[in-house]
Structure 1
Amino acid sequence: MILRRVARPLLASIFIAGGINALRQKEAHAEAAKPLLDKTVGEKAGELPSDPVTLVQVDAAVKIAAGTMLTVGVLPRISSVLLLGSLVPTTVAGHPFWEEQDQQKRQQELTEFLKNASLAGGLLISAVDTGGKPSLGWRTRHAAEEVGHQVQGRTGEMQRRMGAAQGKAGLAVAKATKASEQATARAAKRQGRATGMAKGKGKALKAAKKGAGRAKSAATHRH
């Protein structure tokens, strides 16, 4: 946190100073920007503001406002993108080293161009800096993983419940089967007892008949 509070003002200082300087010397900056405007705006002058002085003032205002926002930490990522968008045309218009014929001037312009390229690198880092918070990509992946875990957890819970239900159903079937077998065994036992009693009564009846026959035969011999 302390590093960001120090680094952001250092990175923004050159843009704020450059914007103030551009407002003070807008005619000179407009003259330097005119060749680039002629190449880029060209025939679209009726659609876009083509007055070099106006564009220099707009660019300076963006540098000062976005630089101040970056300094105080207000929307630092957005302000870094704004500064980066302002830096690119300024660098191309202000330091076209490829057009210089003099070797010394060419080297000077190349050095300034590379300095601005270094600033662009710093702005790119600042534009993606989340201030220690998870990035959007990480949050998206984390949310997807969390949803996946929840789906897996619910699927596992449903499977466990289904397994428990199947276990209960199997236990109920087993109990019912056992109860049916026990009832069948009891019925068979009762039927066996009844059959035994019937056989016993039959034997007693036969014995009684035989006893009666013998008694009758004995009585007949006596007479």
Structure 2
Amino acid sequence: MTVILRRVARPLLATIFVTGGINALRQAEGHAKVAEPFLNNAFDKLGDVVPAQVPRDPVTLVRLDAAVKIGAGLALASGKAPRLAAGLLLGSLVPTTLSTHSFWAIKDPGERQQQQVQFFKNASLAGGLLLAVADTHGKPSVGWRARRAAKDVGHSAEKLSRKGQKRANKLAKRAQKALPH
């Protein structure tokens, strides 16, 4: 049942990102104009932390974001590295949401309500992506497997230590018997 659920849910979740990425590529300048105030503010606050290799041009950033949405969306939809793909989409969704749906800064009540709906729609998508990031297909997580391996190594070391101690005791008894009295 869960295999079928994943095969249906992942493409459904990915659809909005792939179509949004394609739309952003087709209308990169328009999307960049909307994102520019947010990007300028972010670079003003974090510019010294962001590596110089990161482009500052809004159109380039919109195109990069679109490529991430399309690539990671297709990967999620097809089940190729779905946890990584969901993480990349989540990382793309946060700045997109903050730059395009900042309802708290809008004065017009109608526009504010519309952007608030879009903001919470994206928050809901983020919840779905978080579930996809955490989905291990019913297998134990990497953390659980690492703790289990460490525990197994500890048990093996303990057994080796006991065997070594027994062997040392046997050798000591032989040595005592071999010594003249």
Cα deviation 1:27-52 (Å, max 9, x = unaligned):
321221111122122495xx442332
Alpha-carbon offset, residue 131 of structure 1: 2.5
Cα deviation 1:120-176 (Å, max 9, x = unaligned):
122122223222332111111111110111112122223444555677789x69xx9
Q: In structure 1, what is the Cα distance between the partners aligned to 2:137 and 2:96?
A: 28
Q: Which runs of 5 or more structure 1 residues have no equivalent in the other structure?
A: 178-223
Local SS of the residue matching 2:139: coil
Report the counterpart of residue 36 of structure 2 in structure 1: 34
Report the counterpart of residue 79 of structure 1 in structure 2: 85
Report the counterpart of residue 138 of structure 2 in structure 1: 132
Q: In structure 2, what is the Cα distance between the partners aligned to 1:168 and 1:3?
A: 67
Q: In structure 1, what is the Cα distance between the partners aligned to 2:13 and 2:109?
A: 30
Q: In structure 1, what is the Cα distance between the partners aligned to 2:163 and 2:66?
A: 62
CA 1:87 to 1:167, structure 2 compared with 1: closer, same or farther past 3 Å? Answer: same
Q: In structure 2, what is the Cα distance between the partners aligned to 1:89 and 1:75?
A: 23
Match among 76, 101, 114 for residue 107 of structure 2: 101
Alpha-carbon offset, residue 104 of structure 1: 2.8
Match among 150, 154, 163 for residue 156 of structure 2: 150
Which stretch shifts more, 161-170 or 81-90?
161-170
Q: In structure 1, what is the Cα distance between the partners aligned to 2:175 and 2:61?
A: 81
Local SS of the residue matching 1:123: helix
CA 1:158 to 1:102, structure 2 compared with 1: closer, same or farther past 3 Å? Answer: same
Match among 55, 63, 71 for residue 65 of structure 1: 71
Match among 9, 12, 35 for residue 11 of structure 2: 9
Q: What RMSD over aligned residues (CA atoms) do the two structures have, in Å?
A: 2.5
CA 1:42 to 1:159, structure 2 compared with 1: closer, same or farther past 3 Å? Answer: closer
Higher Cα Rg, which structure: 1
Where do 1:64-213 residues align within 5 Å? 64-162=70-168
